[in-house]
Structure 1
């Protein structure tokens, strides 16, 4: 199972579509963790599971969603409702409530991944306004056997080697 995870595109239309089109035929799901600032039904959002971010006004995206893709349960939210810039505890409660194996979030624009209590947390960073790095990032999560592998990419599709993560599935 492979999933593209992207967040905080903040109005980038062509850029978002370019990234989605680049990978859509190699992944099983495309997740956007909010702050697209695009209207529901916009062509750049075609085929993406998307949640509402704090900058998504007048749209009817859900605040969060839970999807099981080829046996892997993802919980996706923007993160602003769970105060992710300060702590991951409220997000962890919600992910565990939803029996998620992988929790995806954005809001902080900081590309990171970590595992806690059997749940893998992924923030893909931002393709528009990254923080703590120069690169504008997104990632692909791959679950194969007992391994969860997360590969981060720069905007142009180049792999970012120092943002590579591997976790053992619990």
Structure 2
């Protein structure tokens, strides 16, 4: 199972389209909020089997969830934008939520910074921003592979210099 993970597109879909068209073997695309309408637009341009998304602090649609627990290949993955968990200050609340859900992984956005670490055996990952990166001049996303019972990540950019 291969997942393309985006966050914080903020209305700029070109980089998402570039990334999605780069891979023929993507099984799922996840958008972690801040312009979830962008994932709906991407779905019109790039047909992939499964899309998952959550609303962020810049998504004013009340009909969409701000968090989800999804199960992929037997792995529990908690997805949220992160703003409701105060991730710009620390990760205590989001880690606590992941633990309470017995999640294998927590994916979040909001900070526009790439981040990956493990708390006990739980992966905690932020793909950065596909449109407005904070820590570099390159937008970022993440490829997640679930194989042989493991979750493996790789950060990438649709832009090469």
TM-score, length basis structure 1? 0.81
TM-score, length basis structure 2? 0.86
Q: How does 1:103-114 map to 2 (within 5 A)?
A: 103-114=106-117
Aligned residues: 155
Q: How does 1:6-17 map to 2 (within 5 A)?
A: 6-17=6-17
Distance 1:75 1:68, change over 3 A: same
Q: Hey, what does 2:71 align to over in structure 1?
A: 68
Does the CA contact (< 8 Å) of 1:65 and 1:75 recur in 2? Answer: yes
Gaps of 5+ in 1: 159-170
Does the CA contact (< 8 Å) of 1:28 and 1:69 recur in 2? Answer: no
CA RMSD of aligned residues (A): 2.0
Q: 2:89 aligns with which of 83, 86, 94?
A: 86
Q: How does 1:143-162 map to 2 (within 5 A)?
A: 143-145=146-148, 147-156=150-159
Q: Hey, what does 2:32 align to over in structure 1?
A: 33
Q: How does 1:94-105 map to 2 (within 5 A)?
A: 94-105=97-108
Moved more, 101-110 or 60-69: 60-69
Q: Could you give the per-residue CA deviations for residues 96-154 of structure 1, whole angstroms, max 9, x where no partner exists?
A: 22221111000000011100021101100001110112211001112333643211111
Secondary structure of 1:91's counterpart equals: helix
Detail structure 1 runs of 4+ shifted over 3 Å in the superposition: none
Distance 1:22 1:55, change over 3 A: same
Partner Cα separation in structure 2 for residue 67 and residue 82 of structure 1: 18
Q: Hey, what does 2:47 align to over in structure 1?
A: none
Determine which structure has greater relative contact order: mean sequence separation of CA pairs < 8 Å that are 6+ residues apart, divided by chain length.
2
Q: Could you give the per-residue CA deviations for residues 2-40 of structure 1, whole angstroms, max 9, x where no partner exists?
A: 2211100000134323323433x4133211111025278
Secondary structure of 2:35's counterpart equals: coil
Q: Could you give the per-residue CA deviations for residues 43-92 of structure 1, whole angstroms, max 9, x where no partner exists?
A: 31464201000011135221101111111111100000000011111001
Gaps of 5+ in 2: 45-49
